[in-house]
Amino acid sequence: MLKIAVAGKGGVGKTSIAAGLIRLWAEDGPVWAIDADPDACLAAALGVPEADAAKLKPFSEMRAVIRERVGGDGGYMVLNPQVEDLLDRYALVRGNVRLLRMGALKKGGAGCYCRENAFLNAILTSVLVDKQEVVVVDLAAGIEQLSRGAARGVDRMVVVCDPTRAAAATARNIVAMAFDLGIEKVGFVGNRVRNADEREFIRQAAAELPVWGYAGRYEEFAGDMSRAECALELPAGFMRDLKKVREALLQA
């Protein structure tokens, strides 16, 4: 089963793309949906009511569990803790979707490779490497959440890019990081693409990489861009676009 990581500049519609792909795969069977972007709202984009989403505690904030699995405040720390049993225990299940929320990584100045980061890495690696179901990970703007261990499980890196220079610049940085981690299949998905010129912009931004598809610009997303990625319902036209992306990913 495919393990897909979705990345892109903040605001390009990355979470909507991830949510649409999750919904499509969930029509066929179980899917693990991983919200690894602290600023995103994958739960809402999947149609999870706010009250239910609020119960989904980020793994990074589970201090008691982290102490139990990784170690306390002393010098001893388990770098590869056993976490398999935690996935089902803390997943929010809605139909065929099993949603996990990672939370924020600690920055280097806050303790470098700290216990929280070791724990998050173990969770992400366990899902991507060990699970047999489809997995879709909504990453933050960069891909710092992916260690080399977790990256081993990624079958496709989807780089979401809208037709703007800023998005293209971020996309190129993401591509370089993905290749550094050893991810072999990296491609673009153009979002908010309205015409042939904008398709050509995405093709040029992708350079020698494949473009796995395009999603149009839909008025349902345009009313309040600050909440565009948190829509409880994704437009029908958008979902038709993503069906083509899904087929391209299956054939890549």
Mean pLDDT, the chain, as a whole number? 89
Percentages of the chain per state (helix, strand, coil), in multiples of 5: 45, 15, 40
User: Regarding predicted confidence, which is higher, 95 or 116?
Assistant: 95
Q: 224 pLDDT band (50/70/90 cuts)?
A: very low
- In the chain, what are the domain boundaries? 3-251
CA neighbor of 135 nearest in space, from 52, 12, 18:
18
Residue 72 neighbours by CB distance under 10 Å: 11
- Cβ density class 243-252: b for 16+ within 10 Å, e for less: eebbebbeee
- Answer yes or no: are the C-beta atoms of 72 and 115 closer than 8 Å: no
Which residues lie below 8 Å from residue 155, measured CB to CB, with a gap of 6+? Answer: 2, 3, 4, 185
Instruction: Give the pLDDT band of residue 51 (cuts 50, 70, 90).
Output: confident
CA atoms within 13 A on the CB side of 95: 14
This prediction has a pTM of 0.91
pLDDT of residue 58: 93
Taking phi over 0 as left and psi of -120 to 50 as alpha, with beta for the rest, 126 belongs to alpha
Please tell me the predicted confidence (pLDDT) of residue 72.
Answer: 66
- What number does CATH give the domain 3-251? 3.40.50.300
Tens digits of residue pLDDT in 104-144: 776 654 444 588 888 999 999 999 999 999 999 999 877 88
pLDDT at 172: 96
More confident residue, 79 or 111: 79
